[in-house]
A and B are shown apart, each in its own frame.
Chain A
Amino acid sequence: MDAVLEIAGLQKTYRSRKGVRRALDGFDMVVEAGQVHGFLGPNGSGKTTTLRTLLGLIRPNGGRMAILGQEVPRHLPAVAGQVGAIVESPQFFGNFTSYDTLSLLADAGGVRRERVDAVLELVGLRDRAKERVRTYSLGMKQRLAVASALLKEPKLLILDEPANGLDPGGIREMRTLMRNLSESGMTVLLSSHILGEIQLICDQVTIIAAGRRVAHGSVAEVLASHASSSVRVRLEPGIDLLTAAQLLRAKGAQVDLGTDFFTVGNAGNPAQITRILAEQQIYVSELTPTTADLESVFLELTGTAPVDGQNRQVDQVAATAQGGWGQ
């Protein structure tokens, strides 16, 4: 499959009086044609900086980027007509109507005016098209932003948090729209915090943390690569769970107690669990690998899982565990 978007070793450093901050530190990403590609990362991880750099709004300090086979930002004017994008929150001039806003963009980009009505219909703003944008809710502005990105019938659609402010019906509509666009041959790069949505509609994902790619591949691959580290353990009836848990904790296992089971979170070698417990005449009745969801994988990879009693700061990333207990 052809790569519609390629990023290699992208670097962006912000310098201020407070010091130097590396927003992107050798970031890589590949998006293939016809995919819905999820772009995930915690706040401040470099997602929006990546998108802005890709779209020529920010100058990178290093690295290479290409859209539809053309090096950007050098050849961005040549490919801009094939890239529809919304970056961060939708921003429009409040005193214009959505029809005015889109028709001005259409004029500026040399797009047929008929497209304006078509995209307004598509995003459900047809009946509100003559109202000023300042009267719109956040969700309606979001729909308008998506409409503006679709106006030029792009080959690559870049959407930064498109579901922001949408009601549940709107989120579902947006999901269907993404899927339909993808099926029509459009490639969609979707940045979002709604991991359930990403898991539902994305073919591939890239996860960024602290300006670097920490995982990429299909959703199934990313989940699979982190699914085996946690197992659920049930014991024979009548055995004290707490005693067993303390035995394993004493050996370095991370144990979470449930009602009639416990979970070992860092079980790199599940045989170790059965051996330790069997030595104390405790026998396991069930040992099941737990299925990781995208949220838990995301939190683990980005080191942003909440910790009791701590207020995590935006740029604060916990050290991720290397390997697993018992290996």
Chain B
Amino acid sequence: MSLYKAETRRLVKRRFTKLFTVGALLILVAVAAGVFLTNHKAGPDQIAEATAKAQADYKQSVAGTEQMKKDCAAVQGTSRANEFPPNCEIAAPSESDFNPDWYMPPTFNLKESFRDMVTTMAAVLALAAFVVGASYVGAEWNSGGMMNLLLWRPRRLQVLSTKLAALLVGATLLTVVVAALWTAAFYGIASARGTTAGMTSGVWQSIGLMELRALALVLTAGALGFGLASLGRHTAMALGVAIGVIVVFQFGVGAVLEIADAKFPELYLAPFWVIAWMNKQYIAENYNACNYDVTGSCQPDTLTMTWQMAGTGLIAILVLVVGAAMWTMRKRDIT
């Protein structure tokens, strides 16, 4: 327990931890502020204004059509008649083409839009957890702190596991608190600048489960950063692998799959798996294929990437990286 307390203190004391945590929180605050400022409450005034605008546009459109019919009739029998439809058949606009809803200012619908906000929060916190996790153990290896600690606590696996536990518990606490504040903030934004309609207990439960998946994503990212930096005994190892994965596997593989005209390139790209994990599924579509449905229209081939498939992949990568880090910690000399 004393080692765990010391490691928690060490993690919290690090400037890098503070910097990245504050940075992540500032990004989230900026997102929330942006959503607040760009959305407005749809009250009677806004509805009246939108209805008036729609009516005005409708009348302007009707007047324009009438004028066009007159112009058309005037040029019949001349060379300019080609500029208008034959027999001046110009359809008059319908009032339903000017739906007042389309003239409403953007409004934040908690039920429809909050899921994207949870994904945003998960992505920002996962990135911070990855970098903090990598730096936490990488700097220890690089500075000789790990060797000093092992002189005090010569149980290597216990030391590395305790460090990982301190990181994961810290990341859990942060994510739970941020998720609670994030939910409260967007409930407030929806109340002030949108609507909370339709938020049944089932929807809240679904959002709760989504936030749990966000927590799992953050913890996985933290553990991966930690494991990679521990394997390379340097922070740069984890950051290098992350950059390598982005450049080679995402941009490189993405480009190659595009050229090769692959059926479902999303299958090989990490961001789509993250979306599948967070939204429970992602449906990849191949528009080169055409499947006629009962109405005779062309439908693309689809492949559903599920959260179970994404979760299995995450666990496999996690076990591989953290397992390798533990194994090397146990076996390799510390020089």
Contact = CB atoms under 8 A, between A and B. Distances in A.
Interface in A69-100: 73, 76-77, 80, 83, 85, 87, 90-96, 100
Nearest to B153: A108
Contacts of A109: 2, 152-153
Contact of A80 (B6, B9, B152): B152
Contacts, number: 76
B149 A105 contact: yes
Contacts of A56: 150, 154
Contacts of B333: 52, 57-59
B2 A110 contact: yes
A287 to B, nearest CB: 51
Interface residues of A, number: 29
Of listed B151, B155, B333, residue having the most chain A CB within 10 A: B151
Nearest to A72: B154
A107 B5 contact: yes
A105 B148 contact: yes
A57 B334 CA distance: 5
A108 B3 contact: yes
Contacts of B335: 52, 57-58
A100 B12 CA distance: 12
Interface string B68-111: 00000000000000000000000000000000000000000000
A55 interface: yes
A318 interface: no
Contacts of B152: 80, 105, 108-109, 152
B153 A92 contact: no
A265 B139 CA distance: 53
Contacts of B23: none
Contact of B148 (A73, A148, A152): A148
A77 B154 CA distance: 6
Interface residues of B, number: 27
Interface in B270-320: none
Nearest to A48: B335
Interface in B11-28: 13-15
Contacts of A94: 143
A284 interface: no
A76 B154 contact: yes
B144 A92 contact: yes
B15 A55 contact: no
Nearest to A95: B15
Nearest to A108: B6
A87 B333 CA distance: 14
A77 B145 contact: no
Contact of A93 (B6, B140, B153): B140
A316 to B, nearest CB: 22
Of listed B15, B152, B153, residue having the most chain A CB within 10 A: B152
Nearest to B334: A57
Given A52-B334, A57-B334, A58-B334, A104 B150 contact: no
A56 B154 CA distance: 7
A158 to B, nearest CB: 9
Contacts of A73: 154
Contact of A107 (B2, B139, B145, B154): B2
A183 B132 CA distance: 46
Contacts of A76: 154
A57 B147 contact: yes
Contacts of A110: 2
Given A57-B333, A57-B335, A95-B15, A104 B9 contact: yes
Contacts of A104: 6, 9-10, 13
Contacts of A108: 2-3, 6-7, 149, 152-153
Contacts of B15: 95
Contacts of A100: 13
A100 B139 CA distance: 16
Interface of B: 2-3, 5-7, 9-10, 13-15, 139-140, 143-145, 147-155, 333-335
Given A80-B154, A92-B145, 10 more contacts: A52-B335, A55-B154, A57-B333, A80-B151, A80-B153, A91-B144, A92-B148, A105-B149, A107-B6, A109-B2
Q: Which 4 A-B pairs have the closest CB atoms?
A: A91-B144, A107-B6, A108-B6, A57-B334
25 contacts: A52-B334, A52-B335, A56-B150, A57-B147, A57-B151, A57-B333, A58-B333, A58-B334, A73-B154, A80-B151, A80-B152, A85-B151, A87-B151, A91-B147, A92-B144, A93-B140, A94-B143, A104-B6, A104-B9, A105-B152, A107-B5, A108-B2, A108-B152, A109-B2, A110-B2
